Amino acid sequence: MPVKLIRIEKKGPALKRTQFGCLSDVHTLNVTRGCEFRCSYCYARGYSHSPAEGLVLLYSNLPGKIRSELDSPRRRTPVQHVAFNTASDSFQRHPDILKVTYDSMKQILDHGIRMSFLTKGWIPDRFIELFSSFPALVTAGIGLVSISPHYRQIFEPGAATAQERLANIERLRSAGIKPHVRIDPIIPFYTDDERGIRALFHELAKRGVEQVVLSYLHLRPAILKQLKRELPSTTYRLLAGCYKTQDVIEVGTSTKTKLCPLILRQKGYDRFKRLAKDYGITCLICACKNPDMAGQRCLRPSPADNKIPGGPEQLSLFPC
Ligand code: SF4
């Protein structure tokens, strides 16, 4: 379905401070409301303030707002880290979205502030050039669950191809930035079989990826409706059946959700960890999305994490 873009003005503050898991004390910023990638499992599509299907709202005044907020003498809380597009994607393909995103990121970096993003899109060259001037300030995340084109076709139809996302990893690394890879959401019985995991790890290891963050799909009532509408009926029935007896709980924020059954997650994460060893990859379990298991906080890498052997020298990313 083609997406219609509508430009609007952001009324409230552009930079908002959050207090949730890995994002605690980080400022967040969304360039759009809605996302043209239209992943069938997308939580943000189920939010009450999400635009109607097929619409993306672009905050076209963001770069100017960011500049005046950062330069304001009245600002009390210093901005140390900005996480981009927590409910959308930074690298949607529409040129107007990319322009506002570029100008916003440049504002943040020109002010010497750290920034992070997680994307399932293709990162255009001019962004890579920008990031290469600030490697110590940029934390880049690539979302990649499977390299199967069939998976992408039914779960992430608007996102970049697996090959494009793998190329992002190579291009970021050559710009002095070591991206982390997020395998999220793992779809039970669909993307957690040994063959699929090995195929993904093989491609990641070839590109020097040493660590991935794992999390299984959460199901929220609004997502169930989306999945029913957009997935092949057998795939939908298998997924819905898997979560059917799970309690609805609150995870982190006040959002009601169902976790994948614990036994399936434990077995699945163990499978990922066992296979990862063959490729020299370490797996972290996302603690924010697995509150009933021991996990790790994943957004903030240690200062050494962005260092590429033989790559340009970088300053420390985070003081902790
Ligand atoms: S890329 Fe992220 S925000 Fe965009 S549709 Fe997919 S899950 Fe939602």
Ligand 1 lined by 97 (C-beta under 6 Å):
no
Q: 281 C-alpha vs ligand 1 centroid, how far in Å? A: 26
Give nearest CA residue, ligand 1 atom 7: 42
Q: Which atom of ligand 1 is nearest to the CA of 38?
A: 5
The reply to whether ligand 1 has any atom less than 6 angstroms from the CB of 36 is no
ipTM of the assembly?
0.99
**Mutation test of ligand 1: which of 50, 89, 165 has the most ligand atoms closer than 8 Å to its C-beta?**
89
pLDDT more than 90, % of the chain: 72
Instruction: Among 120, 154, 217, name the best residue to mutate to test ligand 1's pocket (greatest count of ligand atoms within 8 A of Cβ).
Output: 120
Residues listed for the chain: 320
Ligand 1 atom closest to the Cα of residue 159 is: 1
Average pLDDT over residues 47-72: 93
Residue 88 identity (one-letter amino acid): S
What pLDDT score was predicted for residue 223?
Answer: 86
Q: Which two tokens stand for residue 93?
A: 């393909």
Mutate to test the pocket of ligand 1, among 33, 37, 122 (most ligand atoms within 8 A of CB): 37
Which pLDDT tens digit goes with each residue over 163-184? Answer: 999 999 999 999 999 999 999 9
| 195 sits in which H/E element | helix 194-206
Q: With cut-offs at 50, 70 and 90, classify the pLDDT of residue 1.
A: low
Residue 120 pLDDT greater than 80, yes or no: yes
Would you call 96 exposed, middle or buried from its count of C-beta atoms within 10 A (0-12, 13-18, 19+)? middle
DSSP state of 76: -
pLDDT computed for residue 179 by the predictor: 95
Q: Which of 3, 28, 35 is the pocket-test mutation for ligand 1 (most atoms within 8 Å of CB)?
A: 35
The answer to whether the CB of 39 is under 6 A from ligand 1 is yes
What is the Å distance from ligand 1's center to 218 Cα? 14
Contact (Cβ atoms closer than 8 angstroms) between residue 214 and residue 183: yes
* Distances in whole angstroms, Cα of residue 233 to Cα of each of 180, 221, 238, 239, 258: 34, 17, 9, 10, 20
Is the CB–ligand 1 distance for residue 22 below 6 Å?
no
Q: How far is the CA of 187 from the centre of ligand 1 (A)?
A: 15
39 alpha carbon – ligand 1 mean position (Å): 5
How high is the pLDDT of residue 299?
53
Mean pLDDT of the residues in the chain: 89
Tokens of 45: 């599509």
Check whether 303 has a pLDDT greater than 80. no
Strand partners, 84: 29
Q: Is the CATH number 3.40.50.1820 carried by domain 4-306?
A: no
Q: How confident is the model at residue 242 (pLDDT cuts 50, 70, 90)?
A: very high
Distance, C-alpha 240 to centroid of its chain = 24
Please report the pLDDT score of residue 252 as a whole number. Answer: 67
C-beta of 38 in contact with ligand 1 (< 6 A): yes
Delimit the domains of the chain by residue range.
Answer: 4-306
Q: Among 34-43, 89-98, 214-223, which is the least confidently predicted range?
A: 214-223
Q: Are 66 and 87 in contact (CB under 8 A)?
A: no
Please check the confidence at residue 256 and state whether its pLDDT lies above 90.
no
Q: Is the pLDDT of residue 23 over 80?
A: no
Q: How far is the CA of 38 from the centre of ligand 1 (A)?
A: 6
Confidence tier at 25 by pLDDT (50, 70, 90): confident
Report the DSSP pairing between strands 211-216 and 81-84: unpaired
Three-state DSSP class for residue 296:
strand
* pLDDT given at position 314: 34
CA distance 245 to 136: 46
pLDDT at 272 over 70: yes
